[in-house]
Amino acid sequence: MDFNSVKGKVAIVTGASRGIGRAIAECFGENGMKVVCAARSAEQGRAVADGICAKGGDAIFIQTDCSKASAIKELVDKTVTHYGKLDGVVSNAGIGMGGTPLHEYEVEDYEKIFSLNSEGVFAGMKYGAEAILKSHSEGGFLINVASVAGLVPQRGQALYSATKFGVVGMTRAAALDYAEYGITVNAICPGYTRTSIFGDAPAAAMNFFAADCPAKRMGDPEECAALALFLASGLARYITGAAIPVDGALSAGHQSISSWKHPEILTGGKLNSQSTIAALMENEAAKAIVEQYLPGFADNQQAKAAYGMTFGKIGPMLGLPETALKALLDALDTGSVEYESQSIVGGRKSPGFAALRRESGLVFQDPFSSLDPRWRVAKSVAEPLSLQRRDLNNTDIDERVAAALTMAGLEPADFLNRYPIDLSGGQAQRVVIARAIINEPKVILADEPMSAIDVAARIQILDTFAAIRAARPSTAIIMVSHDLGVVQHIADRILVLHDGRLEETGSTAEVLGNPQSDYTRQLIEAASL
């Protein structure tokens, strides 16, 4: 058996700039398919297409807002114009949302997630099927990337699960529509997979999710890509209407602890049994909180013994919702977290929480995931003012937005009316920075702000932070970064963390010039500073 049957087929892959979409696009290209890479990010999407071509493949990039049916139709039309036909569509673009009970979601949340996760998939199938039929494709296919959450509901994931259940249902119904016409329609349902949703999360965070999976590991995007290639090939012509999990048995059923009668069957391996299980959480309050947001994990009880993880290290990188994090802080027996000498433990009820929320700005690692694709730049930047400064009139808001964009190195006249899809990665990140500084915060927290953009854009971002420091010297900037070159350029002080532990701290000159920790020395050597 081989995959020669896919050679020459024309396929669209949405969300192709990273993660599973990128892996599928590259896999298709390596096996002789003509690939149309569709994504919002022009820089990342074009890089994927260029990479396929560099390896001898045939690929183009078409910038697309996959939340809009009209954009999907235009994507399909451009594909047919370029290649003369269409054989398949992989509807992969989507967003995650969760961590809260249904009644706490806003209507805007519903509209945002359904526009991409549901309407985008519908449009991909509708216009894709039409083009495949008109192309008289031999071996046409529609592949939708759903989720394990489309097979098994998850607490706090009402909207996300609804979209993914809908994708599975739409897939199966469409399979009935097109079976006699030779178009297969299937869904891939990934579990915990190493994609950009986890960013640069530390090993402990990955271990946290791996421990929740029966296979005791996370999946790789390439594993979903291999399945997509099979479903697109002649080897899978009798497989249609299927929703196939790629999840390490996560959706197979509830895990229970068991012991082996004959562990000697394993040679050199580590037995997952009662003999290796230790108490993950002795704090009952913390255990209850984790069970609320990650059902079943608290009783799996392996993380502490296997990975040395303590709740003192749990943070947003673990993917826990903000409300869970606040509750965990409140449940801890020792230690304190303060802002302006006021405790923030306890969330909204604590004296320091309101001040921290009002006086801080956030810059996220992936700018596009933090910008509403339906909002123009002006509205996105103004959002903090709309929420916290009801005393300002529209003129005041407009002036502040323009000033923030200018400080971020963007000309207001050129960017106010743009949508995120119209921005490069560097431009989008500077829009996010403008939003973070609009309220003149005392603290700016930047999470790997240069990791998802190219070198030229990084320089612009560094210049932006330098401009902020010059204009507002009292503003504290806390930056999380693995790039020591960036840290060396911008930071006054450095804290080096390793697996949640503080290795050392001091001035930038002290830490980089005379490191005291072996781990710090290894980082400096690897960065060639």
pLDDT cut 90: percent of the chain above it = 39
Task: Please give the DSSP secondary-structure letter assigned to residue 193.
Answer: B
Domain 7-246 matches domain 330-527 at the CATH topology level? yes
182, 347 Cβ separation under 8 angstroms: no
pLDDT tens sequence across 434-453: 998 888 888 888 888 876 66
Residue with the bigger pLDDT between 172 and 264: it is 172
Please, which pLDDT band fits residue 456 given cuts at 50, 70 and 90?
A: low
Q: Calculate Rg over the CA atoms of the chain.
A: 25
Lowest mean pLDDT among 76-80, 237-241, 346-350, 467-471: 346-350
| Residue 72 in this model has a pLDDT that exceeds 60 | yes
Residue 129's identity, in one-letter code, is A
Residue 368: is it exposed, middle or buried by C-beta count within 10 angstroms (0-12/13-18/19+)? Answer: buried
List, as one string, the DSSP characters of 201-264: --HHHHHHHHHTSTTSS-B-HHHHHHHHHHHHSGGGTT--S-EEEESTTTTT--------S-GG
Please, which pLDDT band fits residue 150 given cuts at 50, 70 and 90?
A: very high
Residue 36: is it exposed, middle or buried by C-beta count within 10 angstroms (0-12/13-18/19+)? Answer: buried
| Residue 297 in this model has a pLDDT that exceeds 80 | no
* Catalytic residue (choose from 83, 127, 160, 178): 160
Element (H, E) at 327: helix 322-331
Average pLDDT on 263-279 reads 44
Size (the chain), residues? 529
Measured CA to CA in angstroms, residue 492 lies from 20, 77, 84, 433, 508 at distances of 38, 53, 57, 20, 6
3-state SS class at 135: coil
Average pLDDT, the chain: 80
* Active site (annotated) includes residue 105: no
Q: What's the pLDDT score for residue 335?
A: 66
Q: What's the pLDDT score for residue 373?
A: 83
Q: What whole-number distance in Å separates Cα of residue 160 and Cα of residue 151?
A: 12
Domain ranges of the chain: 7-246, 265-313, 330-527
pLDDT cut 70: percent of the chain above it = 78
Please, which pLDDT band fits residue 175 given cuts at 50, 70 and 90?
A: very high
Residue 506's region, left for phi above 0, alpha for psi from -120 to 50, else beta, is: left
pTM check: above 0.85: no
- Which residues have a Cβ under 8 Å from the Cβ of 248 and sit 6 or more positions away? 191, 192, 213, 214, 215, 216, 217, 218, 219
| Residue 134 in this model has a pLDDT that exceeds 80 | yes
Q: What's the pLDDT score for residue 526?
A: 73
Lowest mean pLDDT among 85-89, 130-134, 251-255: 251-255
| Residue 44 in this model has a pLDDT that exceeds 50 | yes
The superfamily in CATH containing domain 330-527 is: P-loop containing nucleotide triphosphate hydrolases (3.40.50.300)
Task: Please tell me the class of the 7-246 domain.
Answer: alpha beta
